């Protein structure tokens, strides 16, 4: 089987979907006006729909509006998400190109434990068979971001322990014609151009959007003038057809196409501790060939129909095609980066006493993710019920090779042996999954009961041709896991008053096994939460405690986790694990007449503990009672702003506590020190539809360790100043 033969979208299937979407004719009005208004494709894309729904949601639920996103106008999703409690991020490249996001102690490795969606559709290149991948939707073009953790996640999967991030792309404007053009430029060659135009017609509406950003990079390769930055392009188009408002069955049909590409000269090679202290923004010359190249295509056809005043049906067919080649140094003088290779590269940059050998691996992979999903919304007065079904298929085609270079005494990389594609890794991981769910929101007086049940049946498979059958002529070695899982959840909110809501719930968490291990186990947990939400006048606040009790926790090997090449993709079971924590968020707006001062505080406290002892290539040697790596005990963010009639400014203080880079207890030289990073932004309206902006990331130019990768140090982004201009019409 090849990736070309793996295609759910036959012409016959598309014709059936389109025919069913348009099957209802336009006749007399049979629905109330308010039903027509509430029936929209846009409503199918969102988790919450509106802020009031967030307030009634049991568990931790947060919605970042367009105004929230524009406050700092980050292009880095990880900087955006630090305003939400219970979310952990791990910087890597400094620009957010490689997102590492975790929730409630799940770990951040390639965001593999979090369900990532764009417009309600799974966004990871292969969310079942290979979730730890190098694609994340371009955050800077998003209009809204929704984050849901805890007991309301029965409707979303396949990973239900951590939570859900749903990114809402540009919606079609309500006006006949509207748009925006914004430009930004800053240090280290940073530049951004973002523009969209669209409008709503009587029956046909559309929007077209372009987003491009780039930088030369803030690191310097030793003995080289080569840039270390990136260029990323993202193009989006949507076209929507809607019936007349007086149709018997009001309908909307929307087609979305999104294309992006990226070229980034990024690396996995960090620095030795000594070089980090003396030259933190340097890079070793052995990494000069490192480059990521990728392309992503998304096709999405969405249909919604108001069947009656009580029933709406929304259906989406989706197709995601992602290909990438991360061409990066894997060995120096035969040593892997985590086993002495980085030290050899560091020494050669100081004293070039002859040539060294450098292996550069072409981590070449192609991904496919596609499916069809439908949700029926039913209004039974006190019961608001959702019935959902999704059929999904995905795969990763891994076809890699290694090129050998000589790094000479003049620090030039000379190719000595070109690798043959397929001779390093040659396999396909694939999955097919059927998911069904029912979710009932039952209102009884001041109580709202949320009960959910999710069922998934999945088959996850690996076909491995080894390193000697590059043409895939022989039968591959095959491993397969078949999984059936039932995931219940139950949550309760109680409106103690109009301002105060108490909430709590329990949920079964799950993550599917890896295709690479025939004896791999599911990740399963029981998750509890309890808290309160209060909002009155200018104040709003939320506090929750959570407890995740794992029967078995997964760790999946990736290159970013310092796994050996032959172990990448393997799953390791940690067994019983306990995670507890506190999430707190509060905001208040002071009104001084012509000037307002909004403040916002976000705090997360987390305790992690392995409950048994074991050895693994992923976590190392672990004793019972050890803490997790890369989960800070405390993290806090404080934002204070000032706003007048035409101007506004905000300063953000982000504190990340000390965290471990490997499992253990107590102080260690391998721990990552606590840090405080401050961002500042100010804007001024030069006209009703024009604005200028001034931004500083890392205002105090804090030099900090972001992570320890391959036993080396990766540095965070330094002070970066930028200015921008925005025009709306």
Selection from 630, 622, 618 nearest residue 568 by Cα: 618
Domain span including residue 507? 11-728
CATH number, domain with residue 298:
2.40.170.20
Alpha carbon distance, N-terminus to C-terminus of the chain: 50
Distance (Å, whole) CA 76 – CA 450:
34
Residues 129-184: tens digit of each pLDDT: 998 878 999 999 999 999 998 776 668 889 888 889 999 999 999 999 999 999 99
Selection from 182, 195, 319 nearest residue 259 by Cα: 319
Beta strands in 14-142 (DSSP E): 60-64, 87-89, 101-103, 115-118, 121-122
Instruction: Give how far Cα 639 sits from Cα of 67, 83, 88, 679, 680, Å.
Output: 15, 9, 18, 9, 10
Q: H or E stretch including 213?
A: strand 204-215
| Other Cβ atoms within 10 Å of 685 Cβ, number | 15
Beta strands in 48-133 (DSSP E): 60-64, 87-89, 101-103, 115-118, 121-122
6 within a domain of the structure (yes/no): no
| Other Cβ atoms within 10 Å of 416 Cβ, number | 12
- What value does the mean pLDDT of the chain take? 90
| Inter-residue long-range contacts of 437-440, CB under 8 Å, 24+ positions, other chains counted | 437/154, 437/155, 437/386, 437/387, 437/388, 437/389, 438/385, 438/386, 438/387, 438/388, 439/154, 439/155, 439/385, 439/386, 439/388, 440/383, 440/384, 440/385
Q: How confident is the model at residue 36 (pLDDT cuts 50, 70, 90)?
A: very low
Query: What is the distance of C-alpha 437 from the center of its chain?
Result: 23
Residues 474-494 as b or e (16 or more Cβ within 10 Å = b): eebeebebebebebebbbbbb
- Maximal C-alpha separation, the chain: 86
- Among 22-36, 101-115, 365-379, 605-619, the least confident range: 22-36
652 within a domain of the structure (yes/no): yes
Q: What is the pTM of this model?
A: 0.91
Q: How confident is the model at residue 342 (pLDDT cuts 50, 70, 90)?
A: very high
Residues 399-453: tens digit of each pLDDT: 999 999 999 999 999 999 999 999 999 999 999 999 999 999 999 999 999 999 9
543 within a domain of the structure (yes/no): yes
- Indicate if the pLDDT at residue 520 is higher than 80: no
Tokens for 376, please give them: 């029926």
447 within a domain of the structure (yes/no): yes
Distance (Å, whole) CA 219 – CA 227:
8
5 within a domain of the structure (yes/no): no
Backbone angles phi, psi at 83, to 5 degrees: -80, -5
Tell me how many domains the chain contains: 1
56 within a domain of the structure (yes/no): yes
Distance (Å, whole) CA 309 – CA 500:
32
Distance (Å, whole) CA 472 – CA 2:
9
565 within a domain of the structure (yes/no): yes
- 3-state SS assignment for residue 574: coil
Q: What is the mean pLDDT of residues 246-265?
A: 97
3 within a domain of the structure (yes/no): no
């Amino acid at each position: 089987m090849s990736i070309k033969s793996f295609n759910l979208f036959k012409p016959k299937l598309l014709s059936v979907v389109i025919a069913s979407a348009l099957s209802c004719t336009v006749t007399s009005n049979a629905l109330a006006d308010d039903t027509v208004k509430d029936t929209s494709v846009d409503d199918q894309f969102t988790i919450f729909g509106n802020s009031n729904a967030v307030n009634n949601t049991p568990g931790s639920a947060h919605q970042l509006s367009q105004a929230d996103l524009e406050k700092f106008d980050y292009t880095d999703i990880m900087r955006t998400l630090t305003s939400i409690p219970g979310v952990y991020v791990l910087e890597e490249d400094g620009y957010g190109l490689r997102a590492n996001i975790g929730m409630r102690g799940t770990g951040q490795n390639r965001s593999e434990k979090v369900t990532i969606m764009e417009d309600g559709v799974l966004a990871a290149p292969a969310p079942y068979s290979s979730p730890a991948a190098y694609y994340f939707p371009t955050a800077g073009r998003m209009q809204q971001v929704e984050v849901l953790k805890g007991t309301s996640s029965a409707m979303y999967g396949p990973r239900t322990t951590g939570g859900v991030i749903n990114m809402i792309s540009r919606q079609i404007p309500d006006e006949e014609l509207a748009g925006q053009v914004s430009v930004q430029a800053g240090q280290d060659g940073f530049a951004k151009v973002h523009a969209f135009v669209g409008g709503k017609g009587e029956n046909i509406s559309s929007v077209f959007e372009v987003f491009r950003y780039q930088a030369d990079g803030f690191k310097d390769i030793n003995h080289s003038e080569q840039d270390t930055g990136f260029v990323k392009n993202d193009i989006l188009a949507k076209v929507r057809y809607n019936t007349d408002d007086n149709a018997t069955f009001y309908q909307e049909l929307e087609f979305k196409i999104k294309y992006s590409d990226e070229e980034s000269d990024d690396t996995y090679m960090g620095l030795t501790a000594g070089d980090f202290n003396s030259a933190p923004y340097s890079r070793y010359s052995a990494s000069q060939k490192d480059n990521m190249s990728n392309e992503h295509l998304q096709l999405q056809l969405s249909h919604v129909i108001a069947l009656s005043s009580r029933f709406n049906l929304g259906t989406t067919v989706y197709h995601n095609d992602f290909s990438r080649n991360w061409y990066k140094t894997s060995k120096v003088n035969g040593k892997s980066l985590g086993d002495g290779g980085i030290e050899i590269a560091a020494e050669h940059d100081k004293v070039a006493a002859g040539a060294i050998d450098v292996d550069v691996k072409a981590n070449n992979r192609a991904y496919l993710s596609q499916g069809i999903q439908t949700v029926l919304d039913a209004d039974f007065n006190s019961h608001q019920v959702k019935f959902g079904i999704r059929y999904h298929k995905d795969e990763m085609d891994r076809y890699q090779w290694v090129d050998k270079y000589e790094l000479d005494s003049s620090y030039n990389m000379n190719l000595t042996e070109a690798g043959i594609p397929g001779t390093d890794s040659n396999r396909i991981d694939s999955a097919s999954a059927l998911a069904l769910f029912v979710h009932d929101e039952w209102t009884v007086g001041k109580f709202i009961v949320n009960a959910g049940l999710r069922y998934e049946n999945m088959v996850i498979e690996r076909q491995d041709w080894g390193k000697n059958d590059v043409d895939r002529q022989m039968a591959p070695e095959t491993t397969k896991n078949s999984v059936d899982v039932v995931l219940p959840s139950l949550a309760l909110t109680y409106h103690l008053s109009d301002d105060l809501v108490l909430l709590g719930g329990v949920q079964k968490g799950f993550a599917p096994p890896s295709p690479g291990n025939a004896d791999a186990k599911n990740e399963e947990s029981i998750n509890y939460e309890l808290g309160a939400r209060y909002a009155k006048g200018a104040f709003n606040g939320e506090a929750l405690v959570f407890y995740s009790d794992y029967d078995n926790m997964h760790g999946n090997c990736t290159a970013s986790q310092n796994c050996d090449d032959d172990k990448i993709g393997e799953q390791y079971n940690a067994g019983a694990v306990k995670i507890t924590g506190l999430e707190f968020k509060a905001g208040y707006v002071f009104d001084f007449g012509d000037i307002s001062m909004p403040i916002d505080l976000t705090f997360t406290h987390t305790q992690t503990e392995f409950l048994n002892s074991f050895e693994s290539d992923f976590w190392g040697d672990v004793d019972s009672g050890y803490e997790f790596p890369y989960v800070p005990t405390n993290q806090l963010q404080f934002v204070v702003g000032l706003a007048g009639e035409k101007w506004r400014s905000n300063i953000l203080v982000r504190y990340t506590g000390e965290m471990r880079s490997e499992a253990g207890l107590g102080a260690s030289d391998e721990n990552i020190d606590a840090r405080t990073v401050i961002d500042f932004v100010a804007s001024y309206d030069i006209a009703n539809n024009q604005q200028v902006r001034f931004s500083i990331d890392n205002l105090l130019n804090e030099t900090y360790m972001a992570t320890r990768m391959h036993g080396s140090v990766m540095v965070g982004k330094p002070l970066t100043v930028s200015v921008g201009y925005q025009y709306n019409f």
